Amino acid sequence: MSSSYFLGSGELFPFICLLLLHSAEPNVSSEPVKCICYNSDFMECTWSHSDGEPNYTMHYWYASEPAQECGSYIQQDGYNIGCKFTKDKIREFVNFHVHRIGINGSESVFPPNQTFQLQDQVKPNPPANLTVNAMANSSISLTWEAPMIPRCLQYEIKYRSNKDKDWQTEYCNEQTKFTLPSVNPDDLYVFCVRSKINDFCGLSHLWSKWSSHIYWGEIITEPEEKNFYFWILISILAVVVLLLIILCRLQNKRLQSIFRTSGPAPEQTIVPLIEKINQTNGTIKETQEVQ
């Protein structure tokens, strides 16, 4: 359950001294807290837990406001490993303080306090809805949608053609458009983009994930590429089936050949049989004449 502490003027100084004392605790080797604001929609402050460490609770406060305990812990194997914050609890350009308390038997463990500026902890979503259009001057234009406030973002564009061995990289600030000049219409090009908070809105070093790839080219466009591999697979299967049919027919001929060579020839079986029948008929006739 979350709790809050009101710090009056008479309580502020002892509270600060207590925190400083706890921050100076020796023999505390807990991993530091890492806070990330995901697209400024929600935030997670997490830490790792090792065997033998206590289960930590986390308290936080902005500037000189009252401290309060985390209201939504992230847990793993029964231990708290983080705290999740909704968008309404995220405030930028003001100091955000984090304080943890761990109970280890009869002792309390106080890792060092940490302070963040949350505008420096933002990790944007990947750019969405990438589109490539051919231009009249043998160039192509790549556009996308910003995942959050466009003026606060910079972008890294990665691209290459089917003739390039390595990726080419370009950067742009705020704008959601990139033009690649002098393209070869007979080549296939692939693009992807990622975003980061620019220096006007924060000092974050957290890049988003890469967007999904988008293709442009006359040889194989994205749908045609899928059809291309589909027909290759069909062709391979057809060749395999044809080989199986040929092998079956060869095996059948081989078996027929074996039966022909191992059994008696037709004239060796039919002619003696006819002679035997004739001899039998002659014997019957002689018997009848004697009677």
Domain boundary assignment for the chain: 34-122, 124-216
Of 10 and 264, the structure prediction assigns the larger pLDDT to 264
Q: What is the CATH number that goes with domain 34-122?
A: 2.60.40.10
Mean pLDDT of 16-39: 64
Q: What is the DSSP letter of 95?
A: E
How much is the pLDDT for 228?
A: 73
Of 54 and 222, the structure prediction assigns the larger pLDDT to 54
Mean pLDDT of 156-175: 94
Position 278 confidence tier, pLDDT thresholds 50, 70, 90 = low
Sorted by sequence, the CB contacts under 8 Å of residue 34 that are 6+ apart come out as 45, 46, 47
* Cα distances (Å, whole numbers) of residue 46 to 43, 50, 53, 98, 278: 10, 13, 15, 11, 106
How much is the pLDDT for 263?
A: 56
Range from 6-20, 79-93, 201-215, 229-243 carrying the lowest mean pLDDT:
6-20
How much is the pLDDT for 177?
A: 95
How much is the pLDDT for 199?
A: 92
Phi, psi (deg, nearest 5) at residue 212: -70, 155
Position 119 confidence tier, pLDDT thresholds 50, 70, 90 = very high
How much is the pLDDT for 273?
A: 58
How much is the pLDDT for 217?
A: 85
Task: Write down the mean pLDDT value for the chain.
Answer: 82
**Closest among 120, 100, 6 to 54, alpha carbons compared:** 100
Tens digit of pLDDT for each residue in 181-222? 988 888 999 999 999 999 999 999 999 999 999 999 865 545
Position 138 confidence tier, pLDDT thresholds 50, 70, 90 = confident
Provide, rounded to the nearest whole percent, the portion of the chain with pLDDT above 70: 75
pLDDT at 289 over 60: no
pLDDT at 56 over 50: yes
Of 228 and 230, the structure prediction assigns the larger pLDDT to 230
Judged on CB neighbours under 10 Å (0-12, 13-18, 19+), 125 is middle
How much is the pLDDT for 152?
A: 94
Which helix or strand (DSSP H or E) is residue 4 part of?
strand 4-5
Mean pLDDT of 253-279: 63
Of 193 and 278, the structure prediction assigns the larger pLDDT to 193
Q: What is the CATH number that goes with domain 124-216?
A: 2.60.40.10
How much is the pLDDT for 6?
A: 40
Q: Do domains 34-122 and 124-216 have the same CATH topology?
A: yes
How much is the pLDDT for 133?
A: 92
**Tokens matching residue 106:** 């009869």
